[in-house]
Structure 1
């Protein structure tokens, strides 16, 4: 019963995020001059450019190649009907690129009826698994115990290739499994709870403060089943790395949504982009999402500056 309630709560939360994207986009465009420069890594030249940047930021050639193979699989499958950027980077006057999600789901489902695809967590871990340290793999981190990651597990089981070793799968679930918290809207309390829990699980980062290396960017959500039962979970993740004179944020939006590589000038802009996408609820009983870089709050974090109050 607990799992059913938790999954229902999770579905409502993510559904609310999806439902209010259009409203958030309109508010953004009305109240601020914004733009986004991004690529879907469709063409060979851009994939090679991003691949070199990934390796320069400390990601192994093997992991970068595995990531780019998955990108190519997705882009070949959904084709031109998805609304992807066909070549290089493009700039739009919005923080929310538009894709034909109905077409993507239809095409993907016909090609892979049993395979959901890869999501943000699987993608980020593919790239950063060597930069996240697990001194030991706690027994609690084994697969099959998470009420949030069951679709991730299905994807790993049904994927056309073996993505992780058994040890890496255990580390994946150790990192992303949900954790209990208390009933409060204080983001600092939830941040400290997550930091303590990751420390207890033996999770550290090889280059926690080195901005020349790739880092894990996590959007953390607070979910409430009842006032007595509250959870934190990583609802979205991506990889941040130096690129040209600024930063590049690499993400997979969702299982059957595109890969994106987005250029940003600074970390505050990364946080604003993510909060505009996910901090979209009003008067909810839970804390707003917060954005972490590795195991610290990202520099420049603030509530969604474009949300209509």
Structure 2
């Protein structure tokens, strides 16, 4: 009886420790500042069926070894609400080691969805301006040649769309997915997009995006925050929890009272980010 009691007690202590670790990690995030976290995330991407994980790894390692080292990005998981990278040092670290553009959120998500996302139609030629830095990098940097193969789909997916009914600007991105027949052929991977409304030009565009991987009891969101800013992976228990974390970034918000930013799970509108300050 005493032995059984000791075993039960030990099991309960182990379970308590495991629960503590889980609570520390979810929600949890990493800037993928070194080999341990990069390898961990790449294994999860590969298992979920993401495309070109080998290339993604090359991009992430390159960033960690240059911008990441200069900004002292850690190879660990942290509280996402307390993470703050030194963007100036990231930029300096990248530019000291490269004479070409870094990737951004849209380029990274599109790489991982190559062959996973498809469309029935695309725009013939992009004539907008919101994606000019993306398209310049894709057109002129050899490492992004793989994105050039489906550039029309890229600009159709992410480029600005005119708002004809300013009472419902949130419907434009949904309508675009339907019009061009976008579809993701994977039950576990989806595209999470933050769409910005520009009331001065009456247009919406994808200001930020990343891929969301679904597990039985949590989600993993993988993103490149922006040009010359870190890669980030975030574990959350719910999508609402992820939106709360993304709401901490002031760059997604316009002037007080302006609609949006709107959030979409693939082509479905799921709400707006809420300003936290």
Shared topology, TM-score over 0.5?
yes
Pick one of 126, 132, 137 that aligns with 1:150. 132
Structure 2 match to 1:251? 223
Aligned partners of 1:214 and 1:241 also within 8 Å: yes
Q: Structure 2: state its 5+ residue gaps.
A: 1-25
C-alpha distance in 1, partners of 2:156/2:273?
Answer: 28
Structure 1's 201 and 248: CA in aligned 2 closer, same or farther, altered over 3 A? same
* 2:210 partner SS: strand
Deviations 1:33-61 (A, max 9, x none): xx95211223333222212211222213x
Aligned residue pairs, count: 251
For residues 187-202 of structure 1, the aligned pairs below 5 Å read 189-202=168-181
Aligned partners of 2:105 and 2:223 also within 8 Å: yes
Q: Does 1:70 align with 2:55?
A: no
Aligned partners of 1:53 and 1:243 also within 8 Å: no
* 1:147 partner SS: coil
Deviations 1:97-125 (A, max 9, x none): 21121122122223223x22000000000
Q: Structure 1: state its 5+ residue gaps.
A: 1-34
Aligned partners of 1:183 and 1:230 also within 8 Å: no
Structure 1 match to 2:41? 50
C-alpha distance in 2, partners of 1:106/1:165?
Answer: 26
C-alpha distance in 2, partners of 1:270/1:249?
Answer: 8
* 2:143 partner SS: coil
For residues 236-275 of structure 1, the aligned pairs below 5 Å read 236-242=208-214, 245-275=217-247
Structure 1's 165 and 75: CA in aligned 2 closer, same or farther, altered over 3 A? closer
Structure 1 match to 2:248? 276
Pick one of 99, 111, 128 that aligns with 1:126. 111
Structure 2 match to 1:12? none
Bigger radius of gyration: 2
Aligned partners of 1:117 and 1:159 also within 8 Å: no
Q: CA deviation at 1:244?
A: 7.8
C-alpha distance in 2, partners of 1:268/1:44?
Answer: 30
Structure 2 match to 1:23? none
Structure 1 match to 2:69? 80
Greater relative CO, 1 or 2 (CA 8 Å, sep 6+): 1
Structure 1 match to 2:203? 231
Deviates more, 1:145-154 or 1:158-167: 158-167
Structure 2 match to 1:288? 260
Deviations 1:210-238 (A, max 9, x none): 4xx1110100010022xxx4000000001
C-alpha distance in 1, partners of 2:28/2:148?
Answer: 37
Aligned partners of 2:68 and 2:230 also within 8 Å: no
Structure 1's 180 and 136: CA in aligned 2 closer, same or farther, altered over 3 A? closer
Pick one of 158, 166, 172 that aligns with 1:176. 158
Structure 2 match to 1:164? 146
**RMSD of the alignment, in Å?**
2.3
Pick one of 194, 198, 217 that aligns with 2:192. 217
C-alpha distance in 2, partners of 1:165/1:256?
Answer: 18
* 1:164 partner SS: helix
Structure 1's 85 and 257: CA in aligned 2 closer, same or farther, altered over 3 A? same
C-alpha distance in 1, partners of 2:49/2:226?
Answer: 25
TM-score using structure 1 length? 0.73
